[in-house]
Amino acid sequence: MILIMLDKKQKRRHFLRTLVLLGSFLPAKVLLALPVEKQRQAGSLSALPAFLDTLIPEDISPSASQLNVGPDLIGRARQESGFERLLILGCTWLNEQSHKQGKQLFENLDEAARIAIVKTAEQSADRSLPRVFFKAVQYYAFEIYYAHPESWVSLGYIGPPQPVGFPDYAEPPELPRT
Amino acid sequence: MTRPQVVVIGSGAGGAAFAWALADAGVQVQILEAGPRYDPLKDYLLASNGWEQQGFPAKVPIAGRQTHAPLQLLENRWADLRSWNHLTGHSLASDRRSFLAYNHVIGVGGTTLHFTGESHRMHPLAMQMQSRFDVAADWPFDYAELEPFYVEAERLIGVAGPSDPGVRTRSAPYPLPAHNLSYASQKLGKGCRKLGLSWTANPVASLSRAYDGRPPCNYCGNCTRGCPRLDKGTADLTFIAKALATGNCTITTGAYVLRLLAGSNDRVKAVVYGSTRRQHRVEADYFAVACGAVETPRLLLNSSPAGSSDGLANESGLVGRNFMETLFWASAGLHPEPLGSHRGLPSDAICWDYNAPDAIPGVVGGCRFSPSTAEADLIGPINYARRVVGGWGRSHKTSMREQFGRMLAVGGIGENLPDERSFIDLDPNEKDAFDLPKARIHSHLAATEIERLDFIAKTCRRILAAAGVKKVIEEYGSYDAFNATHVFGTCRMGTEAKTSVVDSSCRSHRWRNLLVTDASVFPSSGGGESPALTISAIALRAARKLLHSI
Ligand SMILES: Cc1cc2nc3c(=O)[nH]c(=O)nc-3n(C[C@H](O)[C@H](O)[C@H](O)COP(=O)(O)OP(=O)(O)OC[C@H]3O[C@@H](n4cnc5c(N)ncnc54)[C@H](O)[C@@H]3O)c2cc1C
Ligand code: SF4
């Protein structure tokens, strides 16, 4: 048999390695110098739900927030202080960008403005804060969001794999319910 | 049980079959198993919404159990064999081959708990690699000699396979009819036919009908995460359950064997195992080591008799040598039509056309091809989102709907010939919790191996294209990563004491009450055949031979 295990290992190591490099960014430098408790107070995660909903918006299937991705992500980040720091720094960066545009918080921007900022993050240099933040949140948001059966319906995925299995396996698939 | 007649160390494909055959014949057997039991209903979480977030739920972590020596530098001329993904580029950034894992399970049933269930017999010619092709070593018996034990192992496991045996002649049909091919595998079959290649049902240890008190498979596609339905014929549900039912066999879990103690007259007298830091000693008449092809040589090397530092049963100097690994490649792409490719058995079909040792033009050693979508873990929404679709926003969601269920992957596994640079030794620097040196894995792919891999990769791409795939999304293989699932060869069996560790009955040439009954004894790897069935068949044969002495 052939086994894939590249993905998880590589990604995790990459994020954590890159996090170390972030110490050279401002305001990352200032925030990273603080203990996690202080960072929590100094930085806010209020932009996170809007960021997640820009990545995974509501259409015929629910948005990230509707499936509680934010709290799950924060819960996971709290188990790994490096990741929590990254979230705080990333959300601070989102608000800085939105302030530049119209002096408001990221979560108060309209969708077009949020999309523009997320694009900037996605297209930033490889090991820059916005890019690492974008990649990490995208990676874990997909994992949390697509573990919800509500996200499966419009894909035509009738899971989980057990207890029913896929008895129709030899036939063409049924088209997804839209 | 007071004093067992036979102690078996390890309960995987080899140890379990060996223990069953003896217990069934009335011999008192004690199995010492380092790991715990798995409860399929509780431990394998395929009915939970988070099923895709974890792989096989290892209770004993495998990372760090072994170490590895630095692997070889990669070469530009083989750039086409680097692992990559269309969203993330090269999967491994290093200019050296990376060590990812020796994939195995510590637990009752061993690595079969995690296996896909392919149940292959060796190609008869792949057992004669030295005399016919001047490479590796010959097996000390031929296919015909092993055949009855294959039949027995297939019956005990419940193998479902096709009626046409091909070159692997059979004295009895498979106990169960072959499974129908999944819709996605049918597409790959069409591709193969276009290329003039065959594509037949793969013999597997998943039940096509209720059998031996176990229900038929329901085609959930997740055998490598552990089968909660109990139909996959793992060693714990088959050989071990039957051995315990005889009343002649006990199993001690959490019994991590530290060393074998050599006595006088070239006999082993006892084993010492540790559990939660206490040490226990068990004496018996015979001892069978079946810890897998990495840990078995380690145990022998850690068991030097007084006055020696070479290890036990290492008169030939070959314990740990001739290490063979899994030479594999997989190509995955997006098919233009919806396939529902997350459905069906992971590896339900096979192309044996290049399996004979002389079938690949210009390279000795064969290979085979099979579907790989499930083994590549491209059967759930999370992996689609991360590895196939990517992006974000509304376009991401639309693409998820368009693409889910359309991934199609084909993989190949090939012969891996022994190389003096591939071996297992003791790490002089790293020790385990009992202060014993860990096994260190040395792996090197010689040019011939990479050429074989290149053929496999090119053929996978051709099959995928012929099946209608327009866009390749991801490829990976063993050129840039050691990520072995099949390992063999480190206690080679043979007729000569100078050139092998055990004889044709798996007994040490010198220590006659010591046997090795796992994948370590393979003289050659085969042309991509999955090994578990052969390991069990060899172990059954070794047990029958031993009965003459007991
Ligand atoms: C993901 C995956 C998929 C696979 N798919 C297939 C497939 O489809 N078909 C196939 O034929 N093969 C497959 N294999 C390979 C197959 O599972 C192995 O080749 C086979 O199980 C090896 O048998 P073994 O007896 O040599 O070792 P194992 O099955 O690994 O058993 C070794 C046993 O020894 C125990 N042990 C180790 N050290 C000690 C110690 N010091 N003291 C006591 N106990 C110890 C372990 O806990 C374990 O139970 C797959 C493997 C993997 C990882
Ligand atoms: S595909 Fe069949 S054998 Fe494999 S895990 Fe699912 S039910 Fe078990």
Q: Where are the alpha helices (DSSP H) in B366-495?
A: 381-383, 393-403, 447-466
pLDDT at position B40 over 90: yes
**Residue B134 pLDDT level (bands cut at 50, 70, 90):** very high
pLDDT in tens, B44-75: 999 999 999 989 999 999 999 999 999 999 99
Residue type, B75: E
Please determine, for residue B323, whether its predicted confidence score (pLDDT) is greater than 60: yes
Contact residues, chain A, for B51 at CB < 8 Å: 159-162
pLDDT class of A146 with cuts at 50, 70, 90:
very high
Lowest mean per-residue pLDDT among A100-109, B130-139, B327-336: A100-109
Give me chain A's average pLDDT, please: 83
The pLDDT of B149-173, averaged and rounded, is: 97
At residue B217, does pLDDT exceed 60?
yes
Residue A18: pLDDT band with limits 50, 70, 90: very low
Q: Which pLDDT score, from 0 to 100, does residue A14 have?
A: 47
- State the average pLDDT over residues B405-412: 98
Q: According to the model, what pLDDT value does residue A38 have?
A: 54
pTM recorded for the entire structure:
0.95
- Tell me the pLDDT of chain B averaged across its residues: 97
CB of A151 within 8 Å of a chain B CB? The answer is: yes
CA nearest A50 in B: which residue?
A: B393
State yes or no: pLDDT of A13 exceeds 70.
no
What is the pLDDT, as a whole number, of residue A69? 98
Instruction: Kindly state the average pLDDT of the residues A125-152.
Output: 96
Predicted local confidence at residue A177, as pLDDT = 54
Q: What's the pLDDT score for residue A35?
A: 57
Q: Which residue has the higher pLDDT, A177 or B504?
A: B504
pLDDT band, residue A9 (cuts 50/70/90): very low
Average pLDDT over residues B479-483: 96
Above 70 in pLDDT, residue A20?
Answer: no
- Cα-to-centroid distance, A163 and ligand 2 (Å): 10
The residue-averaged pLDDT of B289-298 equals 98
pLDDT at residue A24 above 50? Answer: no
Q: What is the pLDDT of residue B291?
A: 98
In one-letter notation, the amino acid at residue B308 is S
- Average pLDDT (A126-131) is 94
Q: Is the pLDDT of residue B280 over 90?
A: yes
Which chain A residue lies closest to B478 (C-alpha atoms)? A2
Q: Is the pLDDT of residue A32 over 70?
A: no
Report the CATH number of the B6-547 domain: 3.50.50.60
Q: Residue B176 has which token pair?
A: 């169960």
**Tally of CA atoms within 13 A in the half-sphere of B87 that contains its CB:** 17
- Residue A31's pLDDT is 52
User: Pick the residue with more confidence: A100 or A64?
Assistant: A64
pLDDT the model gives residue A4: 53
| Cβ contacts of A143 on chain B, cutoff 8 Å | 53, 382, 386
For B204, the closest chain A residue by CA position comes to A1
pLDDT recorded at residue A104: 86
Q: Does the distance separating the beta carbons of B372 and A155 come in below 8 Å?
A: no
- The C-alpha of A102 sits at a distance from chain B's nearest C-alpha, in angstroms, of 23
More confident residue, A70 or A34: A70
**Which pLDDT band holds residue B308 (cuts at 50, 70, 90)?**
confident
Using the Cβ of A122 and the Cβ atoms of chain B, whether some distance falls under 8 Å is answered with yes
Which pLDDT does position B483 carry in this prediction?
A: 96
Of B49, B413, B476, the CB nearest to A148: B49
Banded model confidence at residue A178, pLDDT cuts 50, 70, 90: low
Q: Residues of B with CB below 8 A from A152's CB? A: 381
- Nearest residue, CB atoms, A2 vs list B100, B330, B383: B330
Using a CB–CB cutoff of 8 Å, tell me whether A41 touches chain B. Answer: no
Any CB–CB contact under 8 A between A139 and chain B? Answer: yes
How confident is the model at residue A21, as a pLDDT?
Answer: 44
Q: Best of B100, B112, B347 to mutate for ligand 1, by most ligand atoms within 8 A of CB?
A: B112
As to burial, measured by CB atoms within 10 angstroms (0-12 exposed, 13-18 middle, 19+ buried), residue B233 is buried
Q: Say how many C-beta atoms besides its own lie within 10 A of residue B130's C-beta.
A: 16
Backbone angles phi, psi at B313, to 5 degrees: 60, 25
3-state secondary structure of B171: coil
pLDDT band at A175 (very low <50, low <70, confident <90, very high): confident
> Min CA distance, A38 vs chain B (Å)?
32
With a pLDDT cut of 70, the percent of chain B lying above it is 99
Interface check A159 vs B, CB under 8 A: yes
Q: For chain B, how are helix, strand and coil distributed in percent, rounded to 5?
A: 25, 20, 50
CA of B541 to the centre of ligand 1 (A): 19
What number does the ligand 2 atom closest to the CA of B221 have? 1
Domain spans of chain B, in order of start: 6-547
Nearest-CA neighbor of B175 among B208, B222, B143, B145?
B208
Nearest CB neighbour to B385, from listed A2, A142, A169? A142
pLDDT > 90: percent of chain B: 97
pLDDT for A34: 53
pLDDT band for A26, please (50, 70, 90 cuts).
very low
- pLDDT, tens digit (0-9, with 9 covering 90-100), for A39-84: 555 568 999 999 999 999 999 999 999 999 999 999 999 888 789 9
Position in ligand 1 atom list of the atom nearest CA B375: 1
Residue B422 · residue B446 · CB < 8 Å: no
Q: Where are the domains of chain A?
A: 9-153
Q: Residues enclosing ligand 1, CB less than 6 A? A: A 1, 3; B 9-15, 32-35, 103-104, 106-107, 110-112, 114-118, 224, 255-257, 290-293, 295, 299, 485-486, 518-519, 530-533, 535
| Binary contact (B338, A167; C-beta < 8 A) | no
Q: Worst-scoring range by mean pLDDT, A109-123, B133-147, B264-278, B405-419? A: B264-278
**B200-201 and B349-350 beta bridge pairing:** antiparallel
8 Å CB contact between B456 and B412: yes
Residue B16 reports pLDDT greater than 60? yes
ipTM surpasses 0.90: yes
Q: Which residues does ligand 2 sit against, CB inside 6 Å?
A: A 165; B 206, 217-223, 227, 229, 231-232, 345
The verdict on a CB contact (< 8 Å) between A146 and B381 is yes
CB contact under 8 A, A162 and B47: yes
State the average pLDDT over residues B395-418. Answer: 98
Residue with the two structure tokens 């597409």: B187
Residue B323 CA to residue B318 CA, distance in Å, equals 10
